[in-house]
Each structure stands twice: as C-alpha cells, then as structure tokens.
Amino acid sequence: MKYKKLEESLLYDGSPIEPFWAFKEFKVKGSSILAWIGPMEIKPEELIDYEDVGLEIKSNKMIHFIIEHFDIQPADIKTCYHRQRLFVMIVKDILSELGIKTTRSGDDIYFEGRKLSVSIATCSNSSMKIHFGMNVKDEGTPDDVETIGLLECRKDLDYKKIQLLVDKISESYIKEIDSIEEDITKTKVF
C-alpha cells in the first residue's frame, strides 16, 4: 500500500471519494492512502451518506485521509466499513498516546463531547474508498454541531507536530493492513 502526503491545501468537496482519484490526480497507482490539510465543503448533491442529506458538512481546516483498496474484487462494502472502523480506532489510539482522550461512536471521534472528525466509506465496482477528516481548528464548522479541533484539544500542538501525526496515522494503518496480509499467509485454513 502506498502513502503520499500532499503539500498543497486542497478543498475536500467529495470528489476525492470517487474511484481512481489518487491515480487520476496524482498518478498514485494501486491501493493507497493520501493525506493533506485543507478545507472541506461538500455540496448537498455530492453527499453519499443518506443520513447526511440536507446537512452542512464543512470546516475551514481539516486533516484529510483518502484510502483506496483494490485487493478484493469485486469490492466489498462490509469489508470497507470494517477497514474504516479499524482506521478510526488507530486514530483514537494515536491521539490517546498524545494525551488526547477521545471517545468513539461508530466512525466518529469526540473530545469532551464535541465532534472532532467525519468519515465515510463506499465502494465502486473496482475499489473500496474511505474518507476520514479531522478538524485542525474549530472554525467554519456547522453551527448546529458542537465541534472541536486538534489545536483546542491540546494547546502545545503545532503544525509541525500535526504533520508528524499525519505520518504516524498513515504509516500505522499501512502496517496494520500489511500485518493482516502476513497473518493470512501463515494461517492454516481447514
């Protein structure tokens, strides 16, 4: 699985969840995780979660992760959601190591009851896709949701530490996926 951290501040508008986005935009071929810091604003017609129809999904500054898997054909939505939850739990564990004690409800992470993240999982005929976004600052988020950003969770965080956090999360997920693949190859099946 490949990892690419984008230096540019892209707007997450929902289009990166489309299949082959990493390849079409950045020539990253195969299973991958791309990460960057940038704003998010999803127009109602771009929403793919039926529960979110009519809601505002936006933030001025988030860490974005786009994960795409091609290893199961045809792509499987249940496996995709399992991987999404695995990713969310990895993020939660790494935040805990930093002293940021969060809670999880499904694919959402909260700090002191305030929403820190958003996520969606979906499939195409060829791949499984996950978007996970985590607020850096509590600015530009919907008025009807109590939100928080990483910089409010721990006052000594800065952008250099956040960049290291992005790397650690991405590398930990890849390591976990690789470990599962290795375990599959050494297990006797009856």
Instruction: Give the pLDDT confidence score for residue 51 in this predicted structure.
Output: 54
pLDDT in tens, 76-100: 999 999 999 999 999 999 999 999 9
Residue 190 has pLDDT above 70, yes or no: yes
Residue 75 has pLDDT above 50, yes or no: yes
Q: Rounded mean pLDDT of 146-167?
A: 95
pLDDT in tens, 15-67: 899 999 999 999 999 999 999 999 998 876 555 554 554 566 889 999 999 99
Between strands 32-42 and 2-5, the pairing is parallel
Instruction: Give the pLDDT confidence score for residue 48 in this predicted structure.
Output: 55
Q: What is the mean pLDDT of the chain?
A: 92
Give 2-177's CATH code, choosing from 3.30.930.10, 3.30.2350.10, 3.40.190.120, 1.10.10.10: 3.30.930.10
Instruction: Give the pLDDT confidence score for residue 65 in this predicted structure.
Output: 98
List all residues 6 or more positions away from 80 whose beta carbon is below 8 Å from its beta carbon.
Answer: 69, 121, 122, 123, 128, 129, 130
Question: Exposure pattern of 108-147 as b/e (b: 16+ CB <10 Å)?
Answer: ebbbeebbbbbbbbbbeeebbbbbbbbbbbbebbeeeeeb
Dihedral sign from CA coordinates of 149, 113, 77, 176: positive
- Among 54-63, 108-117, 170-179, whose mean pLDDT is lowest? 54-63
167: left (phi over 0), alpha (psi -120 to 50) or beta: alpha
Domain ranges of the chain: 2-177
Residue 143 has pLDDT above 90, yes or no: no
Instruction: Give the pLDDT confidence score for residue 145 in this predicted structure.
Output: 87
